[in-house]
Amino acid sequence: MPRNAESTAFRSALEVIRGVEPRVADAIGAELADQRESLKLIASENYASPATLLAMGNWFSDKYAEGTVGRRFYAGCQNVDTVEALAAEHARELFGATHAYVQPHSGIDANLVAFWAILADRVEAPALRRAEARHVNDLTEADWFALRRELGDQRMLGMSLDAGGHLTHGFRPNISGKMFDQRSYGTDPATGLVDYDRVAEIAREFRPLVLVAGYSAYPRKVNFRIMREIADSVGATFMVDMAHFAGLVAGKVFTGDFDPVPHAHIVTTTTHKSLRGPRGGLVLCGPELADQVDRGCPMVLGGPLPHVMAAKAVALAEARRPDFADYARQVVDNAQALAEGLLRRGAKLVTGGTDNHLVLIDVTGYGLTGRQAEQALLDSGIVTNRNAVPQDPNGAWYTSGIRVGTPALTTRGLGTAEMDTTAELIHTVLSQTSAGANPDGTASKAKYVLDPALADKISRQAGDLLGGFPLYPDVELG
């Protein structure tokens, strides 16, 4: 029998789904079993609460709601208005922001909303004023042609990918790199840290319209006050993508110069990483950009997902509770304990440690590529992802790094003692794995040799470690 309301809710949902397509119900059950059994160290993943998950599975999914609260292009949006307004209110209160836009479906979407809000404010609005037009539809063909060229001829400065920046910060494989002429700032080769003097120098030479801070694989804090000063010195709009560390901002671990909200013109984030909400995004800004941000749909977004906005409202309400600050502090304590455990055993870490939720292991110290290390760890029940390190000799596909993060395991309840055991498991696997060879005898960047008996043993040890910290303990699927 189900133990409680959460079990009843999930079991009933699976029964209903099983009646239509049992393979989907089986896959959902299997996903929970897999997540329960794996030592999840992917820095960008977490476990949302049952209330957050349940808020997504309902009839809000059936509603179109283009527009914003109280100003919709469809009738009958009163209940969507309720949840969107609640999500925005929680976001504003949690982060101390003037305005919150909770419609973005992902981090990429949130960044696109921000880029186009900046372009509309800094490029389109002045062009309309010059032409004495109220709306782009009022422009002559010649003025419209000139404006489109001007919109496509703007500059962005962001952190380089191999220093830990994100693809959406102006890199060519992403739409942002096709929209903007991009330059990167890296990190100091000696320390691995952001060199603010160098950022200022590049900004003076390049004169970007947008200066972006934020990262997905940089294990330290960024001083957003200094970055804002750099942006101001060259007339750039300062944007922070806090997707990875939003939970640390929400939990008041990153405060003062390290809290982006008081310093940036515009802040974007996902809601599912350290913030522990549903998969999605949101944008925060001051009054100057609010109207442009609210045009995100239909500017770059498809119809809002009201069921996900409902889940964002639930998760953001959870993040406003005092225990979320304890969680955020523990995420960082755990990452530091993991880093110390790895260092003590001889691992090489980018920047020599961490100030946030992630650790970047340079696996060249073990004679491996990131790809070999990632697979060997996976064979051993440890889920991580490979990641480039600064000036990576193995490029973005094979890489030389393994990124590990603590938000998910911290949600499960693991603490610093368990992080030391985790460091031991990781170090044992990596030190016992060797690079494989291609059929012609040359070194392979993908093949590796790891005794399967050792991989099994580590998997069992990882399982034993997790056994004390059950995932969704109140959910029994039977």
Catalytic center residues: 64, 66, 241, 270, 273, 279
Query: 181 in helix, strand or coil?
Result: strand
Tell me how far apart the alpha carbons of residues 372 and 444 are, in angstroms, rounded to a whole number: 9
Q: From start to end of 160-280, where are the E strands?
A: 180-185, 210-214, 237-241, 266-270
- Tell me the closest approach of the beta carbon of residue 168 to ligand DSN, in angstroms: 7
- Judged by beta carbon, residue 11 or residue 105, the one nearer ligand DSN is 105
- Judged by beta carbon, residue 44 or residue 52, the one nearer ligand DSN is 44
Question: Tokens in use for 424?
Answer: 């031991």
Does the protein bind ligand DSN through residue 375 (CB under 6 A)? no
Tell me how far apart the alpha carbons of residues 35 and 99 are, in angstroms, rounded to a whole number: 36
Query: 330 in helix, strand or coil?
Result: helix
- The dihedral of CA 388, 231, 222, 118: what is its sign? negative
**Which residue, 351, 333, 99, 120, is CA-closest to 215?**
351
Q: Are 310 and 61 in contact (CB under 8 A)?
A: no
- Judged by beta carbon, residue 44 or residue 459, the one nearer ligand DSN is 44
Query: Distance of alpha carbon 371 from its chain centroid, rounded?
Result: 21
- Tell me the closest approach of the beta carbon of residue 322 to ligand DSN, in angstroms: 28
Q: Are 219 and 361 in contact (CB under 8 A)?
A: no
Annotated binding residue 166: yes
Q: Which of 7, 38, 44, 384 binds ligand DSN (CB under 6 A)?
A: 44
Residues in the chain: 478
**Which residue, 19, 17, 36, is CA-closest to 27?**
17
- Judged by beta carbon, residue 306 or residue 405, the one nearer ligand DSN is 405
Q: To which residue do tokens 């039977």 refer?
A: 478
- Tell me the closest approach of the beta carbon of residue 395 to ligand DSN, in angstroms: 18
- Judged by beta carbon, residue 10 or residue 115, the one nearer ligand DSN is 115
- Tell me the closest approach of the beta carbon of residue 44 to ligand DSN, in angstroms: 3
- Tell me the closest approach of the beta carbon of residue 139 to ligand DSN, in angstroms: 36
- The dihedral of CA 58, 59, 65, 70: what is its sign? negative
Question: Tokens in use for 325?
Answer: 């600050």
Q: Are 409 and 330 in contact (CB under 8 A)?
A: no
Annotated binding residue 161: yes
**Binding-site size, ligand DSN (CB under 6 A):** 3
Annotated binding residue 165: yes
Tell me how far apart the alpha carbons of residues 347 and 313 are, in angstroms, rounded to a whole number: 41
Q: Are 462 and 380 in contact (CB under 8 A)?
A: yes
- Tell me the closest approach of the beta carbon of residue 219 to ligand DSN, in angstroms: 13
Tell me how far apart the alpha carbons of residues 258 and 284 are, in angstroms, rounded to a whole number: 16
Cis ω before 208 (30° cut-off from 0): no
Amino acid at 198: R
Q: Are 219 and 353 in contact (CB under 8 A)?
A: yes
**Interface residues for ligand DSN in 97-126 (CB under 6 A)?**
107
Alpha carbons within 13 angstroms on the beta-carbon side of residue 178 total 4
Q: Are 68 and 57 in contact (CB under 8 A)?
A: no
Question: Tokens in use for 259?
Answer: 């809290």
- Judged by beta carbon, residue 107 or residue 280, the one nearer ligand DSN is 107
**Interface residues for ligand DSN in 205-224 (CB under 6 A)?**
216
**Which helix (H) or strand (E) element contains residue 434?**
strand 434-437
- Judged by beta carbon, residue 69 or residue 246, the one nearer ligand DSN is 246
- Tell me the closest approach of the beta carbon of residue 171 to ligand DSN, in angstroms: 12
Tell me how far apart the alpha carbons of residues 356 and 416 are, in angstroms, rounded to a whole number: 14
**Interface residues for ligand DSN in 272-311 (CB under 6 A)?**
none
- Tell me the closest approach of the beta carbon of residue 277 to ligand DSN, in angstroms: 15
- Judged by beta carbon, residue 121 or residue 355, the one nearer ligand DSN is 355
Which residues of this chain interact with ligand DSN, rule CB under 6 A?
44, 107, 216
- Which residue positions form the known binding site? 161, 165-167
- Which residue positions form the known binding site for (6S)-5,6,7,8-tetrahydrofolate? 161, 165-167
